[in-house]
């Protein structure tokens, strides 16, 4: 059932009241009822409108080209995570309502250039002086047991404040798998590209993003040796 504008705004207000979200109004805050359901394989003007709106909100999706591919799906998953919705990567009426309302995460840091990894929503934020600039879909430690080196471990992404101390501009092999262009910030834990980025925690402790997202993080305004990393 389509949401009317009153329900959409009530939902946005409830989310914003949590203190971890902001709502950014814009020219494209039309009723969700005016938009079709979009998914991987969709294309055309409505996809272009979705991509433009997500990009304006900071959700990174690569090229704005009117084609609903995997990067657009991941941006949709990211706003679904932030908005507390089911993470199916399909932009239906409820997701459109969050897009139209301008739901964005609120930064925890207030100074400097910081990469924030929010485990509760499985999102990675680029933050400058307390302002969220870019938002990426990510997958952190699964919190499950795994066997390695003759003993059992728990796949955790520890919380805390760190700095990038090493990065490798290539696939970097490790006993637990190969990491694409990793940026290490806590011993063997890195932000890195991977071919699969589930909508739930799934790694051994690293923070996975898509290969294209990792390429983007290597560019200006992303990550480099010395960048602050805040995990919470």
Task: Give the whole-angstrom CA distance, residue 162 versus residue 5.
Answer: 42
Backbone angles phi, psi at 207, to 5 degrees: -110, 105
pTM summary value: 0.86
Instruction: Annotate 94-124 with b (16+ C-beta within 10 A) or e (fewer).
Output: bbbbbbbbbbbbbbebeeebbbbbbbebbbb
> Contact, 8 vs 16, CB < 8 A?
no
Examine the pLDDT at 4 and tell me if it is beyond 80. Answer: no
* % of residues, the chain, pLDDT over 90: 78
pLDDT value for 2: 34
pLDDT value for 194: 97
What are the tens digits of pLDDT across the range 42-89? 999 999 999 999 999 999 999 999 999 999 999 999 999 999 999 999
Q: What is the mean pLDDT of the chain?
A: 89
- Complete domains list, the chain, with CATH: 5-105 (1.10.101.10), 113-231 (2.40.440.10)
Task: Give the whole-angstrom CA distance, residue 123 versus residue 224.
Answer: 19
Nearest to 63 by CA among 223, 197, 215, 221: 215
pLDDT value for 143: 86
Task: Give the whole-angstrom CA distance, residue 39 versus residue 232.
Answer: 31
pLDDT value for 1: 36
Nearest to 141 by CA among 86, 208, 81: 208
What are the tens digits of pLDDT across the range 196-227? 999 999 999 999 999 999 999 999 999 999 99
pLDDT value for 34: 80
């Amino acid at each position: 059932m389509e949401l009317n504008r009153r329900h959409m705004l009530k939902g946005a207000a409830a989310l914003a009241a949590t203190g971890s979200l902001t709502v950014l109004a814009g020219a494209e805050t039309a009723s969700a009822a005016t938009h079709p359901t979009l998914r991987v394989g969709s294309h055309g003007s409505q996809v272009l409108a979705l991509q433009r709106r997500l990009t304006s909100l900071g959700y990174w999706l690569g090229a704005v080209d009117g084609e609903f591919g995997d990067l657009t799906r991941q941006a949709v998953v990211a706003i679904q995570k932030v908005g507390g919705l089911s993470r199916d990567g399909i932009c239906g009426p409820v997701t459109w309502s969050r897009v139209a309302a301008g739901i964005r995460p609120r930064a925890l840091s207030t100074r400097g250039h910081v990469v924030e990894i929010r485990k509760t929503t499985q999102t990675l934020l680029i933050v400058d002086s307390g302002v969220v600039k870019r938002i990426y879909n990510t997958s952190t430690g699964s919190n499950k047991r795994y066997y390695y080196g003759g003993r059992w471990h728990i796949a955790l992404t520890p919380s805390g404040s760190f700095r990038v101390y090493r990065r490798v501009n290539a696939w970097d092999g490790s006993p637990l798998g190969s990491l694409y262009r990793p940026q290490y910030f806590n011993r063997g834990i890195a932000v890195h590209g991977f071919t699969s980025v589930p909508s739930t925690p799934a790694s051994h402790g690293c923070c996975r993003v898509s290969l294209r997202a990792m390429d983007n993080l290597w560019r200006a305004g992303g990550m480099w040796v010395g960048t602050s990393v805040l995990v919470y």
